[in-house]
Structure 1
Amino acid sequence: MEQKIVLITVISNFIIWIYLLIFRGKFWLADQRLLPTSETEIENIEYWPSVSVIIPARNEAKLLRKTLNSLLNQHYPGNLKIILVDDHSRDNTSIVARCTAQQGNNCTKLEVISGADLPNGWTGKLWAINQGINYAKQQTPDPDYFLLNDADIEHFSTNIRQLVVKAEQENLALASLMVKLQCETLAEELMIPAFVFFFQKLYPFRWVNNPQKSTAAAAGGCILIRKQVLDEVGGIEVIKNALIDDCALAKAVKQKSTNKKIWLGLTSETKSLRSYPDLVSIWNMVARTAFTQLNYSPFLLVVTVIGMKLVYLVPSLGIILGVIFGWWQVVAIALLARLLMFLAYLPIVRFYQLSPIYAMGLPTIALIYILITIDSAWRHWRGRGGYWKGRVYPS
């Protein structure tokens, strides 16, 4: 009887992995990427739209010299303005930003404004972005696009140009890049590729990029959005209290805009310089919004925990039990499921230029993410679920 139950469980797991690889938008291929623009594509742009880059910055002095320079030195033929909103930083964020622009003779490209006090009902980042957008609208020329950009992002020299070309040629309402996250410490090598893998599984990029599908997502570090589209959906105010603001904005565009074409892809050239040196820092980063992703639902929490255990832990458990009790049919099917899991995880491991050995560790990594999700719910119930940069945001 026990063997039959275990056999049915591992068969179910094998079927789940067949579904994930074939029918879940081929998310695991990690093939949605921003490609270099050709000279012909550049020549076909008759008018280069004006772009206002909005950077919400709170205590970012350490990274700004490098990240801000990457924006100030963009090879973009059109009008490019950078607006940095200092969100009550306790370090020298504003001073570093101004000095960086002065040292590169780029003072005319950068405006640094001080953020107003945070009103009720807003998250700090979105309130800063909203102020930057309102400031940009008062400038000349009026921006055609906003690039919503995190302060830790280092862009390659033609990134904005490539994003604008893609948006113009494909008539996109919104284009977003999942930038390459820092992956240098052992904790980052173990956890960061899995973070991107789980995000792709939750929001298959091919489905996001299909205007006929309702799936909507974006990556908040780098979002190019048309000013007209942002105005049409009601501005940043419509998502003012969203902790997962990038996906909330993409959802608003797909639901409320007449132009529902959005695009999300990977890039290996534009990078986040935000480091997560140990497991604790990564744990805190994920725990901040994991339960938010489940709409604070205890039912969805239970379903998610059970589902992740069934998907990621059953093959290893089946192999162990099968070997112990001599259930070789169980072992064979569990090994096949384990192979499919390895193949699914391998592309993102290669994207981060890691050894294929890391792809074997997904079950253990998934177990850690299960524990983080449970901890995220526990933090929420204790009133600490939305803690970020010295602020706690209620659900």
Structure 2
Amino acid sequence: MIVQGLSLGVLAIWLGLILGRDGFWMARERDDRNLPAAPPRWPDVTAIVPARDEADVVARSIGSLIAQDYPGRFRIVLVDDSSSDGTGAIVRALGSNRVDVLAGMLLPHGWTGKLWAMEQGIESAGSAPVWLWLTDADIAHAPDTLRALVARGETGGFTLVSLMARLRCETFAERMLVPAFVFFFQMLYPFARVNRPGTAGAAAGGCMLVRRTALERAGGIDAIRGALIDDCTLGALLKRQGPVWLGLTDRSLSIRPYDDFASVAAMISRSAYAQLRYSPWLLTGTLLGLLLVYVAPPLLALFGQGLTRWFGLIAWLAMALSFQPILRFYRRSPLWGLALPGIAAFYAGCTLLSAWQHARGRGGMWKGRAQAGAES
């Protein structure tokens, strides 16, 4: 009876997630739907691009910014954060008068490297731009991306418009793990809920159009200087100033490769424990929850008896069904839905790895810097 009750509980959890969490799994919030009209005027925009050792991708990324067909005034500031691979020189060699390369200053205590670079770029932009386009050096944008962002921001009166860049999904490790990354992000921060007034804010760091005056009212980047999960922290901060919008896109593409499971694990573990506020109790609860919600259904379906097996099977199928929209978005086989329990187990392992790295003083490791818990 205990096992049967467990199986019924797991099924209830999945039915609740599918029916009651703002339809997070349906992937309906996209930038190619409900397109806004062009604004009466196109305000000034400055793109801020923090970059540290991005020689392999920066020419394509900055080239996509230079190629924007934006009708208004548009400037690009790349902040070279102590790169050792000639990142700044590569951008200068592009020879565009749209781009300024700023040599980053020494990282102060209490700041993460990316946020310190963003702070310097924003200071360099001054008070001229109405919008700041905060984007990463490993994101390539379609030529109409900025036009679409500003149209949505101006028409909707948003303080922030953010796009979840389409992540690269070519190697076996990427095909297996990347769609689930977006699925889990949507589960944590349902886009429809983020876009609704009076709820928590969030953002996706690869592409964020920020209203400069709203950022200043919120205290600027300094207000979140130690945040490792800087995008969602910034999204929550800006939503206190006004509405925000977050959606999926094909316009912005991540060009950073994750060729094997180790590189994907490094990406996940960099911030997983920070998401849990460095709490051993939240870590324990999260790992147990992942096992219960994702791993238990196939085990119950394969090894249970009677109703226990049926409840486990239905929960497993419900899980696989909920994964289908994001699999379609990434043009992956629907059969990956049945593999979601194993994928979730991998993410659980990465979360445990993140906590172990933090305990060793290596938390938040990125480009040679351990940043997690800088202000702990």
TM range (shorter): over 0.9
In the other structure, the counterpart of 1:197 is 183
Please list the CA deviations of residues 320-359 of structure 1 after superposition, one character each: whole Å capped at 9, or x if unmatched: 222xxxx222221111111110110111111100111111
1:113 to 102, 107, 115: 102
1:333 has 2:315 as partner? no
Q: Give yes or no for contact 2:364–2:372 (8 Å, CA) kept in 1.
A: yes
Tell me: CA distance 1:266–1:133, structure 2 relative to 1, closer, same or farther (3 Å). same
Task: Point out the structure with max Rg over C-alpha.
Answer: 1
Take 1:286 and 1:315, find their aligned partners in 2: how far apart are those partners? 24
Matches within 5 A, 1:212-227: 212-213=198-199, 215-227=200-212
Which consecutive residues of structure 2, in runs of 5 or more, have no partner in the other structure? Answer: none
Among 37, 49, 61, which residue is 1:41 paired with? 37
Q: Does 1:294 align with 2:276?
A: yes
Letter in structure 2 aligned against 1:230: L
Which amino acid is 1:149 matched to?
Answer: T
Q: Which amino acid aligns with 1:201?
A: M
C-alpha distance 37-334 of structure 1, shift in aligned 2 (>3 A): closer
Deviations 1:47-84 (A, max 9, x none): 11100000001111111221111110101000000000
Aligned match for 2:119, one of 123, 126, 130: 130
Q: TM (normalized to structure 2)?
A: 0.97
Structure 1 residue 164 displacement after superposition: 0.4
How do residues 217-366 of structure 1 correspond to structure 2 at under 5 angstroms? 217-255=202-240, 257=241, 259=242, 261-322=243-304, 327-366=305-344
Q: After TM superposition, which residue ranges in structure 1, 4 or more long, deviate above 2 angstroms?
A: none
Q: What's the CA shift for 1:269?
A: 2.7
Match for 1:75: what amino acid? D
State the one-letter code of the partner of 1:293: Q
Q: 1:353 to 1:136 in 2, by over 3 A?
A: same
Task: Classify 1:306/1:37 alpha carbon distance in 2 versus 1 (closer, same or farther; 3 Å).
Answer: closer
Q: 1:171-195 deviations in whole A, cap 9, x for unaligned?
A: 0010101000010000001111111
Contact 1:219 1:247 in 2 (8 A): yes
Are the equivalent residues in 2 in contact too, given 1:37–1:162 (CA < 8 A)?
Answer: no
Counterpart position of 1:85: 79
Secondary structure of the corresponding residue to residue 37 of structure 2: helix
For 1:89 and 1:393, locate their aligned partners in 2 and report how far apart those are by CA, in whole Å: 17
Distance (Å, rounded) in 2 between the aligned partners of 1:37 and 1:31: 11
Which residue of the other structure, out of 14, 21, 25, is the alignment partner of 1:28?
A: 25
Q: After superposition, what is the alpha-carbon deviation per residue over 1:223-252, rounded to whole angstroms, capped at 9, x for unaligned?
A: 000011010001000001110000111111
Q: 1:94 is matched by which residue type in structure 2?
A: G
Q: In 2, distance between residues paired with 1:204 and 1:183?
A: 22
Deviations 1:104-141 (A, max 9, x none): xxx22111110011111111111111000000106xxx
Aligned to 2:351: 373
The equivalent of 1:69 in structure 2 is 63
| 8 Å contact kept, 2:207–2:252 | no
The one-character-per-residue Cα deviations of 1:258-293 (angstroms, maximum 9, x if unpaired) are x2x001100023100011000000101110110100
Q: Is the 8 A contact 1:54 1:129 kept in 2?
A: yes
Q: Which amino acid in the other structure matches residue 313 of structure 1?
A: V
Identity, in percent, stands at 45
Q: Output the aligned Cα RMSD.
A: 1.2
* Number of equivalences: 373
Q: Distance in 1 between matches of 2:146 and 2:70?
A: 7
CA distance in 2, matches of 1:328, 1:36: 45
Residue 153 of structure 2 is aligned with which of 163, 167, 176?
Answer: 167
Equivalent residue in structure 1 for 2:12, among 7, 11, 15: 15
More helix per residue: 1 or 2?
1
Q: Tell me by how many angstroms 1:254 deviates.
A: 2.2
The letter of the residue matching 1:338 is W
Counterpart secondary structure, 2:274: helix
